[in-house]
Amino acid sequence: MLPTLLLLLIPTLSPASAWIPVEDWESGNVTVSVGESGQCVCHVYTPDTNFPADRVQNMQQTSKDLILEVKIQTNKLVSYGGKLEVYLTDLSDLTVRVVMLESNPDKYIKLDFELLRVELEEFKALVSQLKGSLNSTSPVFDSLYAEIHNMTLVVNQLETYDKSNLDVIRIEFAKLQKKLEECQKDQEFIKPDIGNCNHTGIMGVSKPMVVQLNAHLSAGYIYGGWGKDSKPLRGLESMYFYGAYTGPAVHDFYLYSDYEKLILRSALKRHNIPSGWEGTGNNYIVHSNTIYYQHNSPFSMTKLNLTSAAYDSRVIPDASQSFSYSYSANQNLDFAADETGLWVMYASVENNGKIVLAKIDEKSFGIVDQWNTAVFKQSAGNAFMACGVMYATRSADLNTEEIFYAFDTKTGQEKHLNIRFQKFQEKYTNLDYNPTDQKLYMYNNGYYVTYGVKFNYE
């Protein structure tokens, strides 16, 4: 009977059912009965054990899709993480700027507030983009929103504060404008006739026009000088120069392309004097694109060509280092330029400490003529040249300077004068006349000061 049963069962069993455990055969899945001919018949009910290959394939594809999506989202996180780090740094910088505005809003203008507001809006949009892209409600974003909102409120408040001060600023500006108008009225009598020396000399000096504090923005730079080229090259008519120091040493000069750049302290060029060419004293000038100043060792007059940066020096045999102007030491060589050329003033032992006036030949850089004056140098505050006449100044009182002496090189005659003008502050280290605009340029205790000059054409 058994062989018959196996023949009946084997064709009907799948390979999977052939491996059904014995214990399952003894369960309700197997029934036994006797057939009509008396043979033994077994009925086996096998479970559905076919492997679901289609489902596995679907699962594998879904898994690949999920892995790809995870990579995409991971890349997004890395990208936005990097952006967030950069913008958080920018936001930190922006916070510092807002704190600076809070500490001193008067230094900023409306444009600064507008730029801050635009940047804050950009940060706000960025946070929204990050939040939407990452589909996140993290407290980090809420904190960023709150910080940006608070900063925006601060900027708006500061701008309001700034606007409230605009009225005060306008009032002060109106006062300043009124003072300038009054100053202009005071100077209306001065009508420069540039280059005309058909007069009998200076008859008046205007009130001081205080331009501003020096380019270093420090009142400690009391030694120095400033002004314009007294014989400018073509195209350089608007150039200004400046040099100032905390002591009487001379080690660099600044050049400005025009008056506006001077005011904005935006130098066109800076000349650092190399070792061995350092100077002393501050009575230097720029003439024909060349700076003339006093050299240290050997004691001599030196020039620096501003185009070629070439240096040259000449010793003046009888010039002495023992005599200076009354306001400061080391003012031994005083360079000047006027309508008639280039000059240098100094004192000599042979002339008993009195000022010697010498004419400089620009090409040979030598002394071509000289005159002895009666002014004891240490009693003078400074001296300058105008139309071939040397004018010496001295202090009348704390607030007043006086042109007390004149020496005419054309006639060899001298005059005692009493032309007084107001000083901005008591002491100054540089005073020079410029023939291109007939103005006096003074470096007064760290400040740029100018005066208009009136000549007697009668």
* 3-state secondary structure labels for all residues of 165-197: HHHHHHHHHHHHHHHHHHHHHHCCCCCCCCCCC
Any domain includes 181: no
Coil, strand, or helix at residue 374? strand
Task: Grade residue 311 by pLDDT with cuts at 50, 70 and 90.
Answer: very high
Q: For position 132, what pLDDT does the model report? A: 62
Looking at the fold, whether 271 and 329 belong to one and the same domain comes out as yes
Q: For position 104, what pLDDT does the model report? A: 59
Looking at the fold, whether 331 and 360 belong to one and the same domain comes out as yes
Residue 306 has pLDDT above 70, yes or no: yes
Coil, strand, or helix at residue 228? strand
Q: For position 341, what pLDDT does the model report? A: 95
Inter-residue contact 282 to 223 (CB < 8 Å): yes
> Phi and psi (nearest 5°) for 239?
-70, 140
**What is the CB-side half-sphere exposure of residue 39 using CA atoms within 13 A?**
10
In degrees, rounded to 5, the angle at the alpha carbon of residue 87 between the alpha carbons of residues 81 and 92 is 125
Looking at the fold, whether 334 and 235 belong to one and the same domain comes out as yes
Residue 300 has pLDDT above 90, yes or no: yes
Looking at the fold, whether 302 and 393 belong to one and the same domain comes out as yes
Any domain includes 314: yes
Q: For position 289, what pLDDT does the model report? A: 95
Q: For position 223, what pLDDT does the model report? A: 92
Coil, strand, or helix at residue 254? strand
Coil, strand, or helix at residue 375? strand
Any domain includes 162: yes
Specify the CATH number for the domain of residue 399. 2.120.10
Could you give the residue ranges of the DSSP H alpha helices within 194-293? Answer: 259-263
Looking at the fold, whether 76 and 163 belong to one and the same domain comes out as yes
Query: Quick one: average pLDDT of 155-182?
Result: 56
Instruction: Look at 128-137, 232-241, 268-277, 395-404 and tell me which has the smallest mean pLDDT.
Output: 128-137
The b/e string for 336-353 (b: 16+ C-beta within 10 A; e otherwise) is bbbbbbbbbbbbbeebeb
> Is the N-terminal amide bond of 298 cis, ω within 30° of 0?
yes
Angle between helices 139-186 and 110-134 (to 10 degrees): 170
What is the rounded average pLDDT for all residues in the chain?
79
Any domain includes 183: no
Q: For position 188, what pLDDT does the model report? A: 47
User: Is 147 or 310 the better-scoring residue by pLDDT?
Assistant: 310
Looking at the fold, whether 117 and 32 belong to one and the same domain comes out as no
**pLDDT tens per residue across span 52-90:** 666 666 666 766 766 776 677 666 666 666 666 666 666
Inter-residue contact 218 to 224 (CB < 8 Å): no
Query: Quick one: average pLDDT of 160-167?
Result: 55
Global pTM value: 0.61
For 30, the domain range is 2-44
Angle between helices 53-103 and 139-186 (to 10 degrees): 30
Residue 9 has pLDDT above 50, yes or no: no
CB atoms within 10 A of CB 259: 13
Give the highest mean pLDDT range of 12-21, 55-64, 168-177.
55-64
Task: Grade residue 135 by pLDDT with cuts at 50, 70 and 90.
Answer: low
Any domain includes 189: no
Inter-residue contact 223 to 246 (CB < 8 Å): yes
What sign results for the dihedral spanned by CA atoms 443, 447, 450, 451? negative
Nearest CA to 332 out of 295, 290, 384 is that of 295
Query: Quick one: average pLDDT of 23-46?
Result: 63
**pLDDT tens per residue across span 194-234:** 889 999 999 999 999 988 889 898 888 999 999 999 999 99
Consecutive H or E run containing 212: strand 209-213
Q: For position 368, what pLDDT does the model report? A: 95
Task: Grade residue 456 by pLDDT with cuts at 50, 70 and 90.
Answer: very high
Q: For position 171, what pLDDT does the model report? A: 61
Percent of the chain clearing pLDDT 90 (strictly above)? 47
Any domain includes 187: no
User: Is 242 or 123 the better-scoring residue by pLDDT?
Assistant: 242
Q: For position 192, what pLDDT does the model report? A: 73
- Cα 157 from Cα 154, distance rounded (Å): 5
Nearest CA to 242 out of 275, 278, 268, 277 is that of 268
- Cα 98 from Cα 105, distance rounded (Å): 9
Inter-residue contact 368 to 330 (CB < 8 Å): no
- Cα 411 from Cα 141, distance rounded (Å): 87
Q: For position 160, what pLDDT does the model report? A: 63
**Complete DSSP assignment for 121-142:** HHHHHHHHHHHHHHT---HHHH
Coil, strand, or helix at residue 341? strand
Q: For position 248, what pLDDT does the model report? A: 83
Coil, strand, or helix at residue 18? helix
Looking at the fold, whether 380 and 238 belong to one and the same domain comes out as yes
Looking at the fold, whether 234 and 354 belong to one and the same domain comes out as yes
Looking at the fold, whether 22 and 94 belong to one and the same domain comes out as no
Looking at the fold, whether 243 and 358 belong to one and the same domain comes out as yes
Any domain includes 182: no
Looking at the fold, whether 27 and 59 belong to one and the same domain comes out as no
Percent of the chain clearing pLDDT 70 (strictly above)? 61
Say how many domains are in the chain: 3
Looking at the fold, whether 12 and 140 belong to one and the same domain comes out as no
**pLDDT tens per residue across span 315-353:** 999 999 999 999 988 999 999 999 999 999 999 999 999
195 contact partners, CB below 8 Å, separation of at least 6: 339, 435
Residue 16 has pLDDT above 70, yes or no: no
